[in-house]
């Protein structure tokens, strides 16, 4: 039976509304940071519902221009990737990557946000199926090592989700370059996943340029560990809130 938003508790409905606002606003960060062309990228966030409420997440509709996205047009789905009766038009389809995002939420309970882009430099590394080596302090800070490559997977079902989970489950990196596709990033929420997508593109670009003129060397593992620990635990205004 299809879940109806109207049947959820007032608190759950409020959480859905707040998540829709957040996810709609974060989609604007994709073109703002030159991470997407046309409609080729998506952001989702898990809804922080109370015990007993169905587990849900919010994602953009498929193929709709970023300029046209609004909180009201964000699609609400179950963790099986099924759209609920969320007040949007019945024929408004969620992102084509919905099953992939749903798979990640089902299998990585600490993940609260997922982002996919086709940002140019990161996607060029993905096209070569080449991990980005950890040759920069920014990479050690945010990714804790190399940015890994995931398997090739077709679009539309949860195959991409399998690839993301198998690659990132035991990795410190919040980014994976899906083979011949592009970057997917995860985070404690959608904002953290967007940040990882922005930094992934930045380091992909910088390391690409560095390799045109020289042979950048991987940081020592002990330095990567020290940088990662500092950034994750000390950097910023409050412990554990690097943003």
Ligand X SMILES: O=C(CO)[C@@H](O)[C@H](O)COP(=O)(O)O
Binding mask of the shown chain, residues 109 to 128, with x at each position contacting ligand X by CB under 6 A: -------x------------
Q: Which is nearer to ligand X, 12 or 74 (CB)?
A: 74
Report CA 116 to chain centroid distance, whole Å: 5
Residue with tokens 């679009």: 155
Instruction: In angstroms, give the least distance from the CB of 116 to ligand X.
Output: 5
Instruction: In angstroms, give the least distance from the CB of 37 to ligand X.
Output: 9
- State the Cα–Cα distance between residues 215 and 235, nearest whole angstrom: 29
Three-state DSSP at 163 gives: helix
Three-state DSSP at 77 gives: strand
- State the Cα–Cα distance between residues 34 and 36, nearest whole angstrom: 6
SS3 percent helix, strand, coil of the chain, rounded to 5, is 40, 15, 45
Binding mask of the shown chain, residues 152 to 191, with x at each position contacting ligand X by CB under 6 A: ---x------------------------------------
Q: Which is nearer to ligand X, 16 or 69 (CB)?
A: 69
Residue positions annotated with a catalytic role: 116, 118, 141, 181, 235
H or E element, residue 137: helix 137-143
DSSP 7-24: GS-HHHHHHHHHHHHHHH
Q: Which is nearer to ligand X, 140 or 193 (CB)?
A: 193
Inter-residue contact 118 to 36 (CB < 8 Å): yes
Binding mask of the shown chain, residues 27 to 66, with x at each position contacting ligand X by CB under 6 A: ------------xx-x-----------------x-xx---
* Residue count, binding to ligand X (CB under 6 A): 11
- Contacting ligand X within 82-101 (CB under 6 A): 95-97
Residues contributing to the site for ligand X (CB under 6 A): 39-40, 42, 60, 62-63, 95-97, 116, 155
């Amino acid at each position: 039976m299809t879940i109806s938003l109207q049947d959820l508790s007032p608190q759950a409905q409020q959480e859905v509304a707040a998540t829709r606002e957040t996810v709609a606003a974060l989609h604007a960060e994709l073109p703002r940071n030159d991470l997407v062309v046309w409609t080729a990228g998506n952001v989702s966030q898990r809804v922080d519902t109370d015990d007993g409420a169905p587990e849900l997440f919010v994602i953009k509709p498929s193929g709709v221009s970023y300029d046209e996205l609004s909180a009201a047009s964000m699609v609400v789905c179950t963790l099986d990737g099924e759209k609920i009766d969320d007040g949007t038009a019945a024929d408004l389809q969620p992102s084509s990557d919905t099953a992939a995002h749903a798979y990640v939420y089902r299998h990585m309970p600490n993940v609260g946000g997922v982002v996919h882009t086709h940002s140019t430099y990161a996607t060029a590394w993905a096209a070569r199926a080449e991990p980005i080596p950890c040759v920069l302090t920014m990479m050690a800070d945010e990714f804790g090592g190399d940015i890994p490559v995931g398997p090739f997977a077709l679009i539309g079902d949860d195959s991409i989700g399998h690839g993301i989970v198998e690659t990132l489950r035991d990795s410190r990196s919040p980014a994976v370059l899906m083979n011949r596709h592009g970057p997917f990033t995860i985070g404690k929420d959608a904002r953290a996943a967007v940040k990882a997508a922005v930094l992934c593109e930045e380091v992909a670009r910088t390391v690409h340029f560095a390799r045109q003129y020289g042979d950048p060397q991987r940081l020592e593992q002990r330095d990567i560990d020290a940088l990662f620990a500092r950034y994750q635990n000390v950097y910023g205004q409050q412990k554990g809130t690097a943003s």
